[in-house]
Amino acid sequence: MAFADENIRTDKDNLMGFSSEDRQLVTIKTNDGIEITAVDINGQAFVGDILLGNTQELLKHGLIVVDNSQQVYQSDVNANAAIIYPNSGAVWPNGVVPYVMSSSLSSSARNALYYAIDHWNNSGTGIQLVARTNEGSYINMINAGGCYSMIGRQGGVQNLGLAANCGNGAAVHEIGHAVGFYHEQSRNDRDNYLTINWSNISSSMQYNFQKMGSGGMDHGSYDYYSIMHYFSTAFSINGYPTMVPTDSSINLSVMGFAQVLSNKDLSAASYLYGGGVNPSLPATPSNLVASSITSSAFNLTWSAVTGASQYDVERWLDNTGWVSAGTSTSNTINISGLSNTDQWVHVKAKNNAGSSDYSDYIHVQLADVAQCDGISIPAEPVTINITGSGFTLSWSATTGADYYQVQIWNQDTSAWNTVANVNGTSHDITGLTGITVYARVVAHNNCDDEPQASSWITITLAATSCTVAPATPTGLTYSNSTYYQFDASWSQVAGATSYDVQLWNGQWVDAASSTNASVSVDKLYPGGSNYLQVSASNACGSSSYSNYIAVN
C-alpha cells in the first residue's frame, strides 16, 4: 500500500523505528522567512517521511529555497500534488536520475524499488532512473527503519531509505519526493479540499500537516488520489480521520493508498521535467480514411496529432450508441469482427494533459455483409436439476438468434444481471443463495439488432441443509502482524460455511472473507488504532459480528 508518509512509524511512541527519547521538535527558518517545524532524529531533520538534512546545519544556515546559485538543502517540489519550485536547481538535469542500491536493502525493499523505478521510467514524463556510473549527484537507496527521501536534486549523495515492509506504492512515493514532489495535502489551496481534524492529531505530530506557504507553487487541480497524498487517518491518535475531503464522493479506501502515479501526477511530472511548459491538450484528429474494407473489417487511418501519445477509436451501434473500437499509439488501427453493413467511426487524441474532442465521424460501408431478419421473442425457459444452490436453465432455439444471455434478477439492485453468454440452449447456474430466484434469457444476433427477452420464470431452490443462521464467532485473535498486514483466526462455528472480517478505520469496512476459521488481512491502516471483528454465515443467514479486538 502506498501511504503518504506511509510506513513511517506514526504512533505516539515511535517514529521511523526510533523511540521518543531519540527525537525532538525543532523550528527551521527558510531564507524567505517561513518557519517549518521538523523532528530531529539522531541529528537528521525530518518532516514526516521527508528528510531535510543535517539538523545543526539547517538550524545554523536555515532552509534555503532553491536557486541555481545557492546550496540546496531542500527543493520542495510537490506533485500535482506539486508544490513546485520552478528553478532548474531542484530538478535532475535532462530528467536523468542516477541511483545506487545498497547491499543492505532487504529483498522485498529491493523488489519494491525495482517496481517503482520501472513505473517511473515508463511513465512518459521524461524522468529516467539509471544505475550510477560516475555521476557526482545521485540517490543512495539504503535500508532504513521506515521510508523516507529528500526532495528534489540536492547536489551530491542523497539518501532514500526503504524498510522491508514499505511496499511498492511507498517506493513510488519516495522516488516522487526525490524527483521533486511534496505531499499533495501540503498544497497552499488544500483547505478548499480538506478539513483537517487537529483534535485527532497529537500536538507532536501536527507539523506533518503544514502547508508549504509562499515558497511553493501548486500545479494543476487538487488530486485526492495522488501517489503523494496522505490516507484519511494518517497520524491519528484515536483511529478517527485526521483529514476529511470536502467532496463527499471521495473514496477514503483509495485516497492515500495509491500504487501508481495518477493522471494528475503524470501531468505535474511532465510539467516539471518538460522545460517548464505545461503539456497542452492535443488537437482533434482529422482526415479519417477507411481502407482494406472486407465484410467484417477495415483499416482506419488519420493525420497524426502533434503531442498525442494515444488515440481512442469508437464506432456507432444503433441500439447502444458510441462504443469503443480500440486504442492505438499510432495514427492507424484495424477494426474487425463487424457484422453490420454500415459503420460509423470517429477518433480522439490523448496525452498526459487530457483528451481532444472526438473527430467528425465517417461512414464506412462493409462489403457483402449478410443481412439479418431480426430476432423472435424467445419461448419461456424451463428448469431441471434444482438444488439448494443452483439449477439448469434450458430453452428452445429462437429464430434469428446467434447467442443468448442468461440473466438472474438481483433484488439488491433491482436489475437483471447477466451470468453467462451462451451459444447453445441450456446453462447450469450455481452458487446461488436464498430460496426464490427469477431467471430469463435474452436473444441476440451478430447484426446489432434489438435483443429480445423471454418472459421470466420463478425458481424455488431445494431446501438447504441448515435450519438456522450460525452462532457468533468467539476466540478472535491475530498473529504475524507487520506494518500493514496480519493473520486473524477464531474458533470454528458449527454450521458456518463462510466468514466475513471487518476492520475499523473511522468506520467498519470489509477487509477479508474466508471459508475457514482463519484469514490473512492486508488492509491494516497505519497511523492509528485498528479494530477487528468477524461474523459467520451459511445459506440460512449470518450471525452478528463478534466482539472486536485491537490490532497493534
Active site residues: 174
Q: What's the rounded Cα separation, in Å, for the pair 477 and 135? A: 52
Question: What is the torsional sign of CA 447, 452, 453, 455?
Answer: negative
Rounded to 5 degrees, φ, ψ at 309 are -105, -15
**Can you spell out the DSSP letters for 63-91?**
BPPP-TTS--S------SS-B---SGGGS
Q: Within 13 Å, how many C-alpha atoms sit on residue 386's CB side?
A: 13
Q: What's the rounded Cα separation, in Å, for the pair 336 and 298? A: 7
Q: What's the rounded Cα separation, in Å, for the pair 218 and 221? A: 8
Alpha helices in 356-427 (DSSP H): none
Helices (H) and strands (E) in the chain, counts: 4, 37
Question: What is the torsional sign of CA 114, 116, 118, 120?
Answer: negative
Burial of 493 (0-12, 13-18, 19+ CB in 10 A): buried
Q: Could you tell me where the beta strands, DSSP code E, fall in 357-497? A: 362-365, 382-384, 391-394, 403-410, 415-422, 426-429, 436-444, 452-453, 457-460, 477-479, 486-489
CA 123 to chain centre: 15
Closest CA to 5 of 190, 152, 148: 148
C-alpha dihedral (507, 519, 172, 505), degrees to nearest 10: 10
Q: Report helix angle 168-179 to 107-121, nearest 10.
A: 60
Residue found under cell 466468514: 499
Composition of the chain by helix, strand, coil, percent to 5: 15, 35, 55
